[in-house]
């Protein structure tokens, strides 16, 4: 296929995430990628600021990860996980148990982040069923969150961003506390937890779990909230006998400056969801970790088993590459890399604060966000970034980046420089 044929067929027949068929925006065909660069079929190279939605933490086509995948494919690409096991799954589970907060000793592998969230929610319901409290099957979350695109994940994602009105009558209706207002580095104010604590106090008899993204709210608004908020949530969950599900699908594996964002608050959740960066961006895989007591309680209740089992559960290719990716991360100096990226993003994006169209610039770990006053015009801004040689994919009012951890200082400067320039030029339009 020529690049033109490829794009023409794509335009006629392929859906892309959150896009219109009748008013399609341009898409760009990627021929290959290495390190932090995407190579388009027309020969252009783009510095990738998105790490393919948080996942490609070591850069593209990492020699070790690619070799691991090839070697595993030569031995065992897939086998059902019902009644069978294999070394990639066991090795990966052992690394995850070792590096996640203490007490999360059981691992359930799922095939995507959304499925992991569903699994976590089902675990919480089955836990209280086993505990003889079957009335506890509702969920409490906070506004501005994002937990995935399937129905139950949507039901705990922000009701406005997630267009819950469109799905009224189909989506279960759960409880939403106000979004946290104290930012990560703000002075803590006790009133920030009032909405949450009122809801948990009023509804705990029917609540099985609180689900939230610790510290960093991702696709629901790219907000960084105060660690004290999370500590209070943990204490309230304990006080009212409600499980805490931490969705670290976006934040896991170093992105926020800690290996897991819960560590900012020294909080251990009862159930932890991981995904995105788990395989270093090679393939789709997710994991749900929980405490032994949760597993035991589920096993005590009727029907005595946890009711879930994906066809591609613990896929050996995905587990092998994930295990290699986790080892690679642990052996790297990721803390220093993230610190350096944080400083460069802070410096490089600071000039955006002078633009009238910019509401706020915020940085945490290897995440940089420019929040605009109005939604950006994707039809003009996307080609403008590509023209400048960078891949940045805004949504709504958010222009944000979360680069691969291996991005050089020079490339970070090019990336942030391009963002400042493009936003300044868009302002003139
Ligand atoms: C991306 C994401 C999900 C959904 O993961 P998928 O792999 O896209 O299904 C869930 N929760 C959070 C916090 C995410 O960032």
For ligand 1, mutation pick of 249, 287, 395, 402 (most atoms within 8 Å of CB): 249
What pLDDT digit, counting tens, does each position of 317-333 carry?
Answer: 999 999 999 999 999 99
Active-site hit among 60, 127, 128, 146: 146
Is it the case that residue 182 has pLDDT exceeding 80?
yes
Task: Show the DSSP H helices in 29-77 as ranges.
Answer: 51-54, 63-75
CA of 72 to the centre of ligand 1 (A): 26
Is it the case that residue 429 has pLDDT exceeding 80?
no
Stretch 14-38: mean pLDDT: 95
- The reported pLDDT for the residue numbered 198 is 98
Stretch 205-233: mean pLDDT: 98
CA of 354 to the centre of ligand 1 (A): 33
Contact assessment for residue 226 and residue 189, using Cβ atoms and an 8 Å cutoff: no
Active-site hit among 48, 111, 247, 411: 247
Stretch 105-114: mean pLDDT: 98
Out of 3.30.530.20, 3.90.1150.10, 3.30.470.10, 3.10.20.30, the CATH code matching 3-61+333-427 is: 3.90.1150.10
Active site residue 146: yes
0.95 cut: is pTM over it? Answer: yes
Closest by CA position to 25, among listed 10, 3, 43: 10
What pLDDT digit, counting tens, does each position of 254-271 carry?
Answer: 999 999 999 999 999 999
Q: What percent of the chain is modeled with pLDDT above 90?
A: 97
Stretch 71-90: mean pLDDT: 98
Closest by CA position to 338, among listed 10, 57, 64: 57
Is it the case that residue 185 has pLDDT exceeding 90?
yes
Give CA–CA dist 320/314, Å, rounded.
Answer: 10
What is the average pLDDT value for the chain, to the nearest integer? 97
Judged by DSSP in three states, 245 sits in: strand
For residue 47, give the H/E element and its range: strand 45-48
**What are the Cα distances from residue 347, in Å, to 257, 258, 414?**
17, 21, 12
Stretch 28-40: mean pLDDT: 98
Contact assessment for residue 31 and residue 41, using Cβ atoms and an 8 Å cutoff: yes
Residue written as token pair 């909080």: 267
Give CA–CA dist 10/41, Å, rounded.
Answer: 14
Contact assessment for residue 325 and residue 279, using Cβ atoms and an 8 Å cutoff: yes
- The reported pLDDT for the residue numbered 38 is 98
Active-site hit among 122, 136, 276, 344: 276
| The CATH number of the domain covering residues in 76-330 | 3.40.640.10
Is it the case that residue 428 has pLDDT exceeding 90?
no
Give CA–CA dist 164/155, Å, rounded.
Answer: 8
Closest by CA position to 109, among listed 232, 303, 259, 287: 287
113 lines ligand 1 (CB under 6 A): yes
Closest by CA position to 244, among listed 259, 254, 257, 229: 229
| E strand segments, 267-402 | 271-274, 286-291, 358-364, 367-372, 390-391, 398-401
Active site residue 225: no
Confidence of residue 280 (pLDDT cuts 50, 70, 90): very high
What pLDDT digit, counting tens, does each position of 350-381 carry?
Answer: 999 999 999 999 999 999 999 999 999 999 99
Is it the case that residue 277 has pLDDT exceeding 90?
yes
For ligand 1, mutation pick of 111, 155, 246, 276 (most atoms within 8 Å of CB): 276
CA of 279 to the centre of ligand 1 (A): 14
Task: Show the DSSP H helices in 100-193 as ranges.
Answer: 113-130, 151-155
- Residue spans of the domains in the chain: they are 3-61+333-427, 76-330
Q: Do domains 3-61+333-427 and 76-330 have the same CATH topology?
A: no
Is it the case that residue 289 has pLDDT exceeding 90?
yes
Is it the case that residue 131 has pLDDT exceeding 80?
yes
402 lines ligand 1 (CB under 6 A): no
- Give me the residues paired with residue 48 across strands: 391
Residue written as token pair 């090019």: 414
Task: Show the DSSP H helices in 144-251 as ranges.
Answer: 151-155, 194-203, 227-239
- The reported pLDDT for the residue numbered 295 is 98
Stretch 8-15: mean pLDDT: 96
Judged by DSSP in three states, 334 sits in: helix
Confidence of residue 116 (pLDDT cuts 50, 70, 90): very high
Active site residue 276: yes
Closest by CA position to 402, among listed 343, 342, 325, 350: 342
Tell me the two tokens of residue 3: 């690049």
Is it the case that residue 349 has pLDDT exceeding 90?
yes
Stretch 175-203: mean pLDDT: 98
Confidence of residue 67 (pLDDT cuts 50, 70, 90): very high
Residue of minimum CA distance from atom 3 in ligand 1: 148
| Nearest-atom index, ligand 1, CA of 148 | 4
For ligand 1, mutation pick of 110, 115, 146 (most atoms within 8 Å of CB): 146
**What are the Cα distances from residue 225, in Å, to 39, 177, 182, 214, 296?**
36, 14, 6, 8, 33
Confidence of residue 24 (pLDDT cuts 50, 70, 90): confident
- The separation between CA 118 and the C-alpha centre of its own chain, rounded to angstroms, equals 15
- The reported pLDDT for the residue numbered 224 is 98
């Amino acid at each position: 296929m020529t690049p033109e044929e490829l794009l023409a067929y794509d335009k006629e027949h392929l859906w892309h995430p959150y896009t219109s068929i009748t008013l399609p925006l341009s898409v760009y065909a990627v021929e290959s990628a290495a390190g932090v660069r995407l190579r388009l079929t027309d020969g252009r190279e783009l510095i990738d600021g998105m790490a393919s939605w948080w996942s490609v933490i070591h850069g593209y086509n990492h020699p070790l990860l690619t070799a691991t995948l090839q070697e595993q494919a030569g031995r065992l690409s897939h086998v059902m996980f019902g009644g069978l096991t294999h070394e990639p799954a066991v090795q990966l589970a052992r690394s995850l148990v070792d590096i996640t907060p203490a007490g999360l000793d059981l691992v359930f592998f799922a095939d995507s982040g959304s499925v992991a969230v569903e699994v976590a929610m089902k675990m919480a319901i089955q836990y209280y069923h086993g505990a003889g409290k079957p009335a506890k099957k509702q969920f409490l979350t906070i506004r501005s969150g994002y937990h995935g695109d399937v129905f139950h994940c949507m039901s705990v994602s922000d009701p406005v961003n997630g267009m819950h009105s469109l799905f009224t009558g189909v989506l279960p209706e759960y409880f939403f506390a106000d979004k946290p207002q104290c930012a990560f580095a703000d002075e803590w104010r006790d009133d920030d937890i009032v909405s949450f604590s009122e809801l948990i106090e009023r509804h705990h008899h029917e609540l099985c779990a609180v689900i939230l993204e610790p510290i960093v709210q991702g696709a629901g608004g790219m907000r960084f909230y105060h660690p004290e908020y999370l500590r209070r949530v943990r204490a309230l969950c304990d006080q009212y006998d409600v499980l805490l599900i931490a969705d670290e699908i976006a934040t896991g594996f170093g992105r926020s400056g800690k290996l897991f964002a819960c560590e900012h608050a020294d909080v251990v959740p009862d159930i932890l969801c991981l995904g995105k960066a788990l395989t270093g961006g090679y393939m789709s895989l997710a994991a749900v970790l929980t405490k032994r007591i949760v597993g035991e309680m589920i096993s005590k209740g009727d029907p005595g088993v946890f009711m879930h089992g994906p066809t591609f559960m613990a896929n050996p290719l995905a587990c092998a590459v994930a295990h290699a990716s986790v080892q690679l991360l642990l052996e790297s100096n990721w803390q220093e890399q993230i610190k350096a990226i944080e400083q460069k993003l802070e410096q490089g994006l600071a000039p955006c604060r002078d633009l009238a169209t910019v509401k706020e610039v915020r940085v945490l770990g290897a995440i940089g966000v420019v929040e605009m006053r109005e939604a950006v015009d994707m039809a003009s801004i996307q080609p403008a970034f590509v023209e400048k040689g960078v891949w940045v994919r805004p949504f709504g009012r958010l222009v944000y980046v979360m680069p691969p951890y291996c991005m050089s200082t020079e490339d970070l400067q090019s990336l942030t420089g391009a963002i400042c320039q493009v936003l300044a030029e868009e302002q003139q339009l």
